Amino acid sequence: MADPWESTMDHAVAIARKAGEVVRDALRGDRMVTTKSSAVDLVTQTDQKVEQLIIQSVKEKFPTHRFIGEESVAAGESCILSDSPTWIIDPIDGTTNFVHTHLTVTSTLDLQVEFGVVYSCIEDKMFTARRGRGAFCNGEPLQVSQQKAVEQAIVATEFGSDRDPEVVDKIFQSLRNVLCLPVHGVRGAGSAAMNMCLVASGCVEAYYEIGVHVWDVAAASLIVSEAGGVLMDVEGGEVDLMSRRIIAANSKTVAERLVKTIVAFSPPRDDAAPSDRCEDSTHLSARKV
Q: Which residues are known binding-site members for Mg(2+)?
A: 70, 90, 92-93, 216
Given the residues 92, 154, 210, 262, select the one marked as catalytic.
92
State which residue, 110 or 216, has the beta carbon closest to Mg ion. Answer: 216
Task: Name the minimum Å distance from CB 157 to ligand LIP.
Answer: 8
- Catalytic-residue membership of 216: yes
Given the residues 44, 95, 108, 157, select the one marked as catalytic.
95
8 Å CB contact between 127 and 55: no
Q: Which partner, ligand LIP, Mg ion, none, binds residue 19 by CB below 5 to 8 Å per kind?
A: none
> Footprint of ligand LIP on this chain (CB under 6 A)?
70, 90, 92-95, 158, 160-161, 191-192, 209, 212, 216
| Local structure of 201: helix, strand or coil | coil
- Catalytic-residue membership of 93: yes
Q: Is 206 left (phi over 0), alpha (psi -120 to 50) or beta?
A: beta
| Local structure of 82: helix, strand or coil | coil
Task: Name the minimum Å distance from CB 188 to ligand LIP.
Answer: 8
Q: Which partner, Mg ion, ligand LIP, none, binds residue 205 by CB below 5 to 8 Å per kind?
A: none
State which residue, 205 or 209, has the beta carbon closest to ligand LIP. Answer: 209
Task: Name the minimum Å distance from CB 3 to ligand LIP.
Answer: 29
Cβ contacts of 78 within 8 Å, gap of 6 or more: 274
Task: Name the minimum Å distance from CB 209 to ligand LIP.
Answer: 6
Which is it for the CA torsion 120, 125, 129, 134, positive or negative? negative
State which residue, 145 or 161, has the beta carbon closest to ligand LIP. Answer: 161
Cβ contacts of 110 within 8 Å, gap of 6 or more: 87, 88, 89, 116, 117, 218, 219, 221, 222
> Footprint of Mg ion on this chain (CB under 5 A)?
70, 90, 92-93, 216
Q: Which partner, Mg ion, ligand LIP, none, binds residue 209 by CB below 5 to 8 Å per kind?
A: ligand LIP
Q: Using CA atoms, how far apart are residues 148 and 165, in angstroms rounded to an integer?
A: 34
Q: Using CA atoms, how far apart are residues 138 and 14, in angstroms rounded to an integer?
A: 13
Given the residues 47, 51, 216, 226, select the one marked as catalytic.
216
CB atoms within 10 A of CB 250: 25
Q: Using CA atoms, how far apart are residues 135 and 130, in angstroms rounded to an integer?
A: 7
- Catalytic-residue membership of 51: no
What does each C-alpha distance from 15 to 95, 118, 213 come to in angstroms? 19, 11, 22
State which residue, 140 or 166, has the beta carbon closest to ligand LIP. Answer: 166
Given the residues 41, 51, 71, 90, select the one marked as catalytic.
90
Q: Which partner, ligand LIP, Mg ion, none, binds residue 162 by CB below 5 to 8 Å per kind?
A: none
Task: Name the minimum Å distance from CB 52 to ligand LIP.
Answer: 15
Q: Which partner, ligand LIP, Mg ion, none, binds residue 73 by CB below 5 to 8 Å per kind?
A: none
Given the residues 51, 93, 205, 270, select the one marked as catalytic.
93
- Catalytic-residue membership of 44: no
Cα radius of gyration (the chain): 18
H or E element in which residue 248 lies:
strand 245-249
State which residue, 8 or 277, has the beta carbon closest to ligand LIP. Answer: 277
Angle subtended at Cα 270 by Cα 115 and Cα 89, rounded to the nearest 5 degrees: 35
Q: List active site positions.
A: 70, 90, 92-93, 95, 216
